[in-house]
Amino acid sequence: MSHVLLRNRSQSLALAFHRRTLIGCALALLALSGLLLLSLCLGSSVLTPTEVFSAAFQADSDHRFVVHTLRLPRALLAVLVGAGLGVSGAVLQQLVRNPLASPDIVGVTDGAAVAAVLFLAWGSALSLDWLPPLAIAGALVSSALIYGLAWRGGVLPIRLVLVGIALAAALKAITTLVLVMSPLSTTVRAYVWLTGSLYGAQWQDVGGLLPWSLTLLPLTLLFARQLGLMGMTDSHALGLGLAVARYRLLLLVCSVGLAGSAVAFAGGIGFVGLLAPHLARGLTGQTMVGRLIGSACTGAALVLIADLIGRTLFLPQDLPAGIFVSAVGAPFFIYLLYRRRH
């Protein structure tokens, strides 16, 4: 048996899992679970896995506060953020047929950043709870703008990329302008947001991000077959009976929603979206389903490791995860490219 096929009766939806994909995904999920447990054990105080389990499930444990209130929501948020960014990146790279694509090029990070920085600079009268929804709104507005500007009787990937890069530059300029003009005290907060951090993650943050992940991740997986066809030229995909324009928009919306919601809760760590699909390559097979699940796992692992390093390696300091996403991800990325060459 080379693969397992899941499909509905009318055969309009189908998910194929090749054996290699299945084994790869199982291993990746297992490794991710191990990493999750490790990050719950480590911190200012080192706990045993038994202590972690009792603290997570029993209200009267000594370590209840540290595990249940501090570490668990933070680790779960890291997983959701990383998975969202990883899948978003994988979808975009396939959509625009360019391995350098990341959520940044459709304006997600920069759109969210402008909204967040504006809010931090002049919205202090409002509660901080408004930050995530406003950042998501910023991401959606800027990607809609890019899609609209790239429209010429349809949207070609290359136009999307070029318009995206131009608008991202303009949005970056606005962010810088706001930083220069804003009150001195708020620039510190804005810089921390721009770096990207999971510091202070709470259950309500996990609850805020979870609906996005739970709808958009399965939805993207369901359209894996169509996404696979998108990798060919438009005329090939059309010839194979794919409604190219419709699925491109649909998958783009999924990708923007995933990245936008992730960035809204963790700040500017969009770099994960570029790296994760490449790190996943060879891990979970070359099928689209495998690549999506693999990107979710590597993205989650990357953010989890970056946050773990940030909050344990320099104790008692607790540093933003965004610093280490690039510090860990970039050298590993270069190593992979180097190894593939030889």
Partner 1 sequence: MFKLKFALPLLAICGLAQADTLTIDHAMGRTELDAPAVRVVTLYQGATDAAVALGITPVGVVDSWVEKPMYQYLRDELADVAHVGLETQPNLEEIAALNPDVIIAAKMRHEAVYDQLNQIAPTIAHETVFQFKETLDLVAAATGRTDAAEQWHQNWDARIADFQQQVAELDNIDWPQQVALLNFRNDHARIYYSSFAGNILNELGFERPQAHREDVWGVKLTSKESIPSMNADVFFIFMTETDATVMENYQDWTSHPLWNTLDAVRNEQVYRVDQVDWNMGGGPIAAQRMVDSVFEHYGLE
Footprint of partner 1 (CB under 8 A): 43-45, 65-66, 69-71, 128, 180, 183-186, 188-189, 192, 197, 199-200, 202, 311, 315-320
Buried b (16+ CB within 10 A) or exposed e, 4-36: eeeeeeeeeeeebbbeebbebbeebeeebeebb
Q: Which is nearer to partner 1, 154 or 207 (CB)?
A: 207
For residue 299, the one-letter residue type is G
Which tokens belong to 56?
């997570």
Nearest approach, Cβ of residue 326 and partner 1 (Å): 18
Distance, CA of 166 to CA of 105 (rounded, Å): 9
CB of 162 to partner 1, least distance (A): 32
Q: Tell me the closest approach of the beta carbon of residue 91 to partner 1, in angstroms.
A: 30
Nearer to partner 1, 40 or 259 (CB): 40
Q: Side chain identity at 337, as an amino acid letter? A: L
Cβ closer to partner 1: 191 or 333?
Answer: 191
Whole-number Å distance between alpha carbons of 330 and 342? 19
What would the 3-class secondary structure string for 80-122 be?
A: HHHHHHHHHHHHHHHHCCCCCCCHHHHCHHHHHHHHHHHHHHH
Residues 6+ apart with CB under 8 A from 142: 107, 108, 110, 111, 112, 114, 167, 171
Least distance (Å) between residue 239 CB and partner 1: 52
Rounded to a whole number of angstroms, the minimum distance from the CB of residue 101 to partner 1 is 32
Nearer to partner 1, 58 or 286 (CB): 58
- In terms of CB distance, is 156 or 174 closer to partner 1? 174
Identify which of residues 314 and 335 has a Cβ nearer to partner 1 in the complex.
314
Instruction: Return d(Cα 65, Cα 243) in angstroms, integer.
Output: 52
Cβ nearer to partner 1, comparing 169 with 188: 188
CB atoms within 10 A of CB 55: 23
State in angstroms the smallest separation of the CB of 42 from partner 1.
Answer: 10
As separate numbers, helices (DSSP H) first and strands (DSSP E) second, the chain gives: 15, 2
Beta carbon of residue 103, minimum distance to partner 1 (angstroms, whole number): 23
Locus of tokens 């202070």: 200
Q: Which is nearer to partner 1, 6 or 129 (CB)?
A: 129
15 phi, psi to nearest 5 deg: -130, 120
Cβ atoms 287, 21 nearer than 8 A: yes
Q: How many CA atoms lie within 13 A of 63 on its CB side?
A: 21
Closest distance to partner 1 from the beta carbon of 138 (Å): 18
